[in-house]
């Protein structure tokens, strides 16, 4: 299943962090387990050594008289208290492989030490090797026991000693808890160090991303920072791609300019000749030549806008454009007394060429001035970090909803008496679409038409 959005995208930083965290976590867990096992083994060996010394004392001081085994008088206080947790037994192996107690410590009282079923067989197989094992005591407490096989004056005996291992288990648990806590802190520090290491190690990649974004937004023409040797080939290739792209765009502009000159000159000649020779044929030629000129202007305009939008971004101040247009249009429509109220943030920039914004805003404001009675309101404001909205309103008669789509078509005019070619809204729509926006027409609170278009925003 693919995750939506950024969560479903592969991340190099996330991959490095998870990989390092995975092996660090595994290493810490294995180390903690090994340390706990080693501590447990050391604790058991310490108890086994104590039990071995007790058995050696019994072995060296026990006697046999008339076939009966007598234990020495030991001074171990724990072995003299009932169920104290320190026990010993001198036993004899039976033919059935069992253990028959001969002498036991006072601490066992009326109980016997439990032994594994195969203890006698294992001791006889290797008499010189003592055997340590875990068992249960008279009160079902966990015991650590040790057994040794010996022959006293021809009598085979087994010496058993045992001690309560609760303290061992408690020490192991405490050690494991402290080790886990320490390793958790160490793991947290390692994770933080890994994240910092990845962020620092990948910082040149993020810087490269930011610099490419700056080129796209028109704040730089190419990549200029010094990058690590691993990223130098990528940066060089990106600079070469930017240069190639700029060259292609310049060739397109030159080609479009040449094409415009090559087509417009013959069309102008045709219109001039037709105007000098009145008649039905001249009218047809004039009408078709004018249509051809409009078509050429339309397609050349779209080609220029497409070439500009594909090249590296340019930054154009929206405030400067609106101020320039407002001053010019107020002078042009001085007879109507048109007042243009405009507002835009100083830090708002259009991500595109100045000429394109002039055509978009100029046609929109000029259309509002033509149809408005006395006031035109223009607003430009950011809608997202990447886009801003230009809105133009007037206090004119407005436009019925069923006619709005019609006026966007090339050359469409609602009133033939109003001066103009009818291409203004079409130009706005064409250039807006080239920059990823679309023209929207609606009703203005001022009573007339409201025009809105979303355009790309450059960083201030």
Distance CA 180, CA 444 (A): 69
Query: Is 188 in contact with 164 (CB distance < 8 Å)?
Result: no
pTM of the model: 0.47
Helix ranges, 62-165 (H): 119-125
Tens digits of residue pLDDT in 132-179: 999 998 888 999 999 999 888 888 899 999 998 888 889 889 988 898
* pLDDT exceeds cutoff 80 at 183: yes
**Angle at Cα 199 formed by Cα 194 and Cα 204, nearest 5°?**
140
According to DSSP, residue 3 is labeled P
SS3 450: strand
pLDDT higher than threshold 50 for residue 420: no
The percentage of the chain sitting over the pLDDT mark of 70, rounded to a whole number, equals 85
Most confident of 44-53, 189-198, 411-420: 44-53
Residue 405 is predicted with a pLDDT of 77
Q: Is the pLDDT assigned to residue 325 strictly greater than 90?
A: yes
What confidence tens digit (pLDDT) does each residue in 93-121 have? 888 888 888 888 888 888 888 889 889 88
Give me the mean pLDDT over the 170-199 stretch: 87
Q: Per mean pLDDT, which range of 121-135, 161-175, 266-280 is the poorest?
A: 266-280
C-alpha–C-alpha distance, residues 28 and 179, integer Å: 10
314-458 maps to which CATH number? 3.30.565.10
More confident residue, 197 or 312: 197
Q: Indicate the angle between helix axes 12-61 and 166-201, nearest 10 degrees.
A: 160
Residue 190 has pLDDT above 60, yes or no: yes
């Amino acid at each position: 299943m693919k995750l939506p959005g950024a969560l479903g995208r592969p991340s190099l930083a996330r991959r490095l962090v998870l990989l390092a965290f995975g092996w660090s976590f595994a290493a810490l867990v294995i180390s903690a387990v090994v340390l706990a096992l080693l501590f447990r083994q050391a604790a058991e060996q310490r108890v086994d050594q104590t039990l071995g010394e007790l058995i050696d004392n019994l072995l060296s001081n026990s006697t046999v008289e008339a076939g009966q085994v007598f234990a020495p008088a030991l001074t171990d206080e724990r072995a003299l208290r009932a169920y104290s947790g320190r026990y010993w037994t001198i036993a004899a192996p039976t033919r059935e492989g069992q253990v028959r107690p001969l002498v036991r410590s006072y601490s066992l009282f009326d109980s016997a030490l439990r032994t594994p079923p195969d203890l006698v067989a294992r001791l006889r197989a290797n008499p010189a090797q003592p055997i340590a094992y875990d068992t249960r005591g008279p009160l079902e407490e966990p015991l650590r026991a040790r057994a040794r096989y010996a022959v006293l004056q021809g009598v085979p005996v087994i010496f058993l000693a045992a001690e309560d291992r609760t303290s061992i288990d408690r020490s192991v648990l405490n050690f494991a808890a402290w080790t886990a806590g320490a390793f958790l802190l160490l793991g947290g520090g390692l994770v933080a160090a890994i994240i910092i290491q990845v962020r620092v190690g990948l910082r040149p990649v993020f810087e490269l991303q930011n610099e490419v974004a700056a080129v796209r937004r028109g704040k730089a023409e190419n990549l200029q920072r010094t990058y690590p040797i691993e990223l130098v080939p990528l940066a060089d290739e990106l600079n070469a791609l930017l240069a190639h792209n700029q060259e292609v765009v310049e060739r397109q502009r030159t080609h479009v300019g040449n094409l415009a000159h090559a087509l417009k000159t013959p069309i102008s000649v045709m219109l001039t000749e037709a105007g000098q020779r009145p008649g039905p044929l001249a009218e047809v030629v004039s009408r078709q030549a004018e249509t051809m000129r409009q078509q050429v202007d339309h397609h050349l305009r779209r080609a220029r806008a497409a070439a500009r939008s594909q090249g590296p971004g340019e930054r154009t101040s929206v405030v400067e454009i609106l101020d320039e247009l407002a001053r010019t249009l107020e002078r042009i429509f001085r007879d109507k007394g048109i007042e243009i109220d405009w507002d835009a943030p100083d830090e708002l920039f259009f991500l595109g060429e100045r000429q394109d914004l002039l055509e978009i805003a100029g046609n929109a404001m000029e259309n509002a001035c033509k149809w408005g009675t006395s006031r035109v309101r223009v607003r430009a404001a950011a809608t997202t970090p990447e886009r801003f909205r230009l809105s133009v309103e007037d206090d004119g008669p407005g436009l019925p909803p069923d006619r709005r789509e019609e006026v966007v078509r090339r050359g469409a005019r609602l009133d033939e008496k109003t001066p103009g070619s009818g291409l203004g809204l079409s130009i706005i729509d064409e250039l807006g679409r080239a920059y990823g926006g679309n023209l929207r027409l609606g009703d203005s609170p001022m009573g007339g038409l409201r025009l809105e278009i979303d355009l790309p925003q450059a960083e201030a």
